[in-house]
Amino acid sequence: MKDNYIPLRVNRDFGGIISVYFDYFKQNIKNFTNVFISYNGVFLIGLLITSYLLVSGFLGMIAQETGQNSFVGGNDFEQDYYIYLGIGGFLFAIIFLGVAFLNYSLSTSYMIKYVETRDNNVDKKEVWNLVKNQFGNIALFVLLLIPIYIAFIIAAIILAIIPLVGFFAQYIVQFFLTAWIGVSFFDMLEKKKGVTEALGEGWKLVTSNFWKSVGVNFIMGLLLGLLLMIALIVPGIIIGVYTFHVVENDVDYSHSIVSTIIYTLSTCLILIIAVYGQCLTQFVNGILYYALHEKTYNENTRATIDQIGQND
The pLDDT assigned to 285 comes to 94
Q: How far apart are CA 304 and CA 298, in angstroms?
A: 10
Q: Is there a domain that residue 139 lies in?
A: no
Q: Is there a domain that residue 142 lies in?
A: no
Q: Band of the pLDDT at 156, cuts 50, 70, 90?
A: confident
Q: Is there a domain that residue 150 lies in?
A: no
* pLDDT score of 76 more than 80: no
Q: Are 54 and 265 within 8 A, CB to CB?
A: no
Where residue 180 falls (left for φ over 0; alpha for ψ -120 to 50; beta otherwise) is: alpha
Sign of CA dihedral 14, 15, 20, 21: positive
Q: How far apart are CA 286 and CA 58, in angstroms?
A: 39
Q: Is there a domain that residue 76 lies in?
A: yes
Q: Is there a domain that residue 203 lies in?
A: no
Count the domains in the chain: 1
pTM of the model: 0.86
Q: Is there a domain that residue 124 lies in?
A: yes
The pLDDT assigned to 182 comes to 94
Tell me the per-residue pLDDT of 187-204, one tens digit each, with 9 for 90 and over: 999 999 999 999 999 999
Q: Are 191 and 290 within 8 A, CB to CB?
A: no
Q: Is there a domain that residue 49 lies in?
A: yes
* pLDDT score of 67 more than 70: no
The pLDDT assigned to 43 comes to 81
Q: How far apart are CA 191 and CA 202, in angstroms?
A: 12
Give the domain extent around 225. Answer: 14-133+210-311
Q: Is there a domain that residue 151 lies in?
A: no
Helices (H) and strands (E) in the chain, counts: 11, 0
Tell me the per-residue pLDDT of 19-55, one tens digit each, with 9 for 90 and over: 999 999 999 999 999 999 888 877 888 888 888 888 8
